[in-house]
Structure 1
Amino acid sequence: MSTTALIGFLCIVAIGSYLQAFTGFALGIFVLGAAVVLQLVRLETTATAINIMTLVNTALALRGNLHLLNRKLFIRTLLGIIPGVPLGVWLLETVSSRSAMLLQLTLGVVVLVAGATLCVRPRARAVTSPSTSFVLAGGVGGVLGGMFSVPGPPIIYQFYIQPLALEQVRLTLLGIFGTISLMRITILAANGGVDSNAVYLGLLSIPVVAVTTALFIRFPPQLSELTIRRAAFLLLSAMGICIVAMGWR
């Protein structure tokens, strides 16, 4: 990987980390989409690098806070994640070996949906949703996490409509995403599919994520959250359209 491509990738990680502070899930989808659009790193390598960032971020965030996880909803979601992640990894390997166009079209649609999620402000329900809805959200998120390391939108929406404290929602989501990343890396390692470049990029990205997040906390932007969300929506939508156009071409 050239020095220019590496610097470009780390800049993308920095921007994604900044957006992550607002949205809670934009890091993975932004880094993956931008890396594909700019053709800096292979999709598979970027996805595994995102897993490493997520694992470290989860470990740091949950240290001393495990008691705040909603274990009951975590387990319900896990019932869908367990079959979803290996299915997603299998789909990635199958589709990438047969049709690069279909893989990019799928990723483009996922990026567009993720962008649309930023405009949705769900209202909390009066009572907790049925168990089956958590299993379904976990299954869909697990497939997306297995394919692209971006399980966020369906699982995030599912949890944000629950009558739970926001801190409990945030930490439970971190635990879920960390579990998906651990499962994906374990499956890839068992099949000899962990790229050394992905490990290198993932480890290099960790201090970038940490520093960018710290700067965001120390120097918050003067723009409103709504403005940032709209800007992120436009950015992800344009990115999704570019990925679809590239795949179609």
Structure 2
Amino acid sequence: MTLEVLLPFLAVTALAGYFQTVTGFGLGMIVIGVISGLDIVSVATVAAVVSLMTLVNSAVALFGKLKHVHWPVAWAAIAGIVPAICAGVWLLGYMSASASSLLSLLLGAVIIYGGASLAMRPSRKEEPSSRLSFLLAGVLSGLFGGLFGVAGPPLIYQCYRQPLSLISIRSMLIMFFACTAITRTLFIGIQGQLDAEIFILTAWAIPVIALATWLGRRFPPPLTPPIMRRLASVVLIGIGLGLIVPELIAFF
């Protein structure tokens, strides 16, 4: 592990941790998007690190919150998440070896989708969605989670449409993120893909994120929540375009 890799990675991680603290969204997408764009480490490595960071964060955030999870639909989403993650990890290995440009385009599209979904305000349904719709949202999120370690947008949009309390929605989402991180980490671990570089980057990233989180809570920017939401959306869409545009220029 060289300083040329470690220092830029930690700088991006610190910015992403602060950004998520003040906006509530974007840690994984910013880390994997910027690091991939700078070509500091491989997509597979940074996705594994994001999964481990998410696992630690979710374990802390979920403590005492499982009682708020709406389990009838949560189990349906989990049934879609788990197999789709395995498919996503397999697809990442294939595309990393033979379709790296397509992988960058897909990652950019996922990040733009995340930014756009953040800008949208989904209307609340009068009745909870069907288990089938949660299953399909889980499959899509699991595929993103397997590919990039980022499973948020489809299930975030799905959950915020439900006629549930805010604490129930947030608890379900944290639980989904934890499930994604556990499944992905176990799957790549069984395949022998958890190497020393991943653990070193994760070990350094966790205290950096903790410090960035404290700074975000202690020194938030003087902006209203709607403005912060728009800012988060613009930043994510910009990162996504930064991945897509160079690939399109090179292609044409």
TM-score computed with the length of structure 1 as normaliser? 0.94
Is residue 81–residue 141 contact of structure 1 (8 Å, CA) maintained in 2? yes
Q: Map residues 220-235 of structure 1 onto 2, 5 A cutoff.
A: 220-235=220-235
Aligned residue number for residue 96 of structure 1: 96
1: CA distance, partners of 2:58 / 2:247 = 33
Q: Which amino acid aligns with 1:67?
A: K
AA aligned opposite 1:216: G
| Structure 1 letter corresponding to 2:68 | L
Alignment map for 1:97-176 (pairs within 5 Å): 97-176=97-176
2:114 corresponds to which letter in structure 1?
Answer: A
| Contact 1:126–1:163 (Cα < 8 Å) also in 2 | yes
Q: Distance in 1 between matches of 2:114 and 2:121?
A: 13
- Letter of the 2:244 counterpart: V
Q: Please report how far the alpha carbon of residue 40 of structure 1 lies from its aligned counterpart in structure 2 after TM superposition.
A: 1.8
- The offset of 1:146, in angstroms, is 0.3
Measured against aligned partners, the alpha-carbon deviations of 1:31-51 in whole angstroms (never above 9, x if no partner) come to 000101122221111100001
For structure 2, list consecutive stretches of 5 or more residues without a partner in the other structure.
none
Q: Does 1:15 align with 2:15?
A: yes
**TM-score of the superposed pair, with normalisation by structure 2:** 0.93
Taking the aligned partners of 1:211 and 1:132, their CA distance within structure 2 comes to 40
Structure 1 residue 60 displacement after superposition = 0.8
Cα deviation, residue 23, structure 1: 4.5
**CA distance, structure 2, for counterparts of residue 198 and residue 36 of structure 1:** 15
Within 1, Cα distance between the matches of 2:136 and 2:211?
36
- Structural mapping, 1:52-67, within 5 Å: 52-67=52-67
* Farther-moved stretch of structure 1 (69-78 vs 142-151): 69-78
Gaps of 5+ in 1: none
Instruction: In structure 2, give the amino acid aligned to 1:174.
Output: I
Per-residue CA distance 1:27-82 (angstroms, 9 max, x = gap): 00110001011222211111000011011011111223322222222211111112
Percent identity (aligned): 37
How far 1:192 sits from its partner (Å)? Answer: 0.9
Aligned residue in 2 for 1:2: 2
Helix, strand or coil at the partner of 2:120: coil
Q: Deviations over 1:191-228 (max 9, x none)?
A: 11113211111121111222222222233321112222
Superposed, 1:189-200 pairs within 5 Å as 189-200=189-200
Number of aligned pairs? 249
